[in-house]
Copies of this chain bind each other. A is one copy, B any other.
Amino acid sequence: MRIAAARERKHDERRVAIVPDTVGRLSRLGVEVVLEHGAGAAAGFSDAAYAEQGATLTDLAALAPDLLLAIGPPPGEVLDTVRPGGLVVGLLGLATDDAILEAVAKRGLGAIALELLPRTSRAQSMDVLSSQASLAGYKAVLVGANLLGRIMPLQMTAAGTLTPAQVLVLGAGVAGLQAIATARRLGARVEAFDVRRAAREEVESLGARFLEVPLDAAEGEGGYAAAQSEEYLERQRALLAERVAEADLVVTTAQIPFRQAPRLVSGAMVEAMRPGAVVVDLAADTGGNVEGSRPGEIVETNGVRIVGASNLAAELPTHASQTFARNLANLVELMVTDGELHLDDELVRATLVVDGGEIRWSRPA
């Protein structure tokens, strides 16, 4: 049995699904590990580094894997090298485009969509969405800090004091928490907001302030209901508008699986920001948390720059490949025993969107 990774074909995709570190782990499953020449080059992994770990390097046409490990949905030219009955594993991008399913099915192959992995603790070590979101959160702050006309930390010098930057993070999931941690490392004052009030503890443990509209004590037992009221939500929007206007850097990270990203920052809120302020929208690819953001572009309006961050993890290709490849190796260990594929684990079943040429998945309503 042969496991392989090809060079990713998508523009700006610098990651690779097998790294030298995971070659040994995969080999120990009784399989042959093969990489296309140059597959890891953009991530900093040379052909020699793979060969040293026992991998075979070859041309795309000779890849011929039974199990193809990929970052994004492989194009036809790559699918064509997969052996009959073979399986493709990757982030298939089903949220925005499911044409890959037909392409896999018509070749009689199978496919596993990593984005469908349940968010359970057992699946955590395979969760590429988490591992990549964490890196994207770090990178979002670096990109933002690098665009600011000011430094992040407090600085007291002979020329007087420079005040710390004010950073606001919207959405305190994996990416948001890493953004908070990175901004705090750099010495910024950080505030964060999340609709899940349970996020407060994690936010505060990172030294950031959790933004919350206080529930009027008089509301008593009706607190939860009050928190859903139109008046409460209006006060929440007003609070966010005020905090966005005060921020030097806003990082937005709110995503909803298979849905348009929620609009958190309106054009009017951007207009109220200071010239020189920066907004990094991590949800730009799925519609954007910020009005006016465009994927892969930096839009300037009234001196405020909105970074439409697209696939930020790929801009940390070395570490992103390392974590992605380890996630994949963990999953493969569930699927391969003594050089043979077994697709009966519940995590595999939950993600197997094409099985033996048959599509088993349809878009959630």
Residues of A within 8 A of B (CB): 14, 43-44, 46, 124-125, 127, 130-131, 134-135, 138-139, 142-143, 145-146, 148-151, 153, 155, 157-160, 162, 182, 185-187, 274-276, 303, 315-320, 322-323, 326-327, 330
Contacts and interface: CB of A to CB of B under 8 A. Distances in A.
A317 B142 contact: no
Given A14-B149, A275-B44, A319 B162 contact: yes
Nearest to A303: B44
A131 B158 contact: yes
Contacts of A125: 158-159
A187 to B, nearest CB: 6
Contacts of A134: 155, 157
A354 to B, nearest CB: 25
A208 to B, nearest CB: 16
28 contacts: A44-B274, A44-B275, A44-B303, A46-B275, A124-B158, A125-B159, A127-B158, A127-B159, A134-B155, A135-B151, A142-B146, A143-B146, A149-B317, A149-B318, A149-B320, A150-B318, A150-B319, A151-B316, A155-B319, A157-B323, A159-B327, A159-B330, A160-B322, A160-B326, A162-B322, A182-B186, A185-B186, A185-B187
Contacts of A155: 134, 319
Nearest to A325: B159
Contacts of A139: 151
Contacts of A127: 158-159
Q: How many copies does the complex hold?
A: 2
A86 to B, nearest CB: 25
A143 B143 CA distance: 9
Contacts of A320: 149
A137 B155 CA distance: 13
Contact of A185 (B124, B135, B153, B275): B153
A149 B44 contact: yes
A304 to B, nearest CB: 10
Nearest to A330: B159
Nearest to A165: B319
Contacts of A315: 149
Contacts of A322: 159-160, 162
Given A149-B320, A186-B186, 20 more contacts: A14-B149, A44-B149, A44-B274, A44-B275, A44-B276, A124-B158, A125-B159, A127-B159, A142-B142, A149-B318, A149-B319, A150-B316, A150-B318, A159-B326, A160-B322, A160-B323, A162-B319, A162-B322, A182-B186, A185-B186
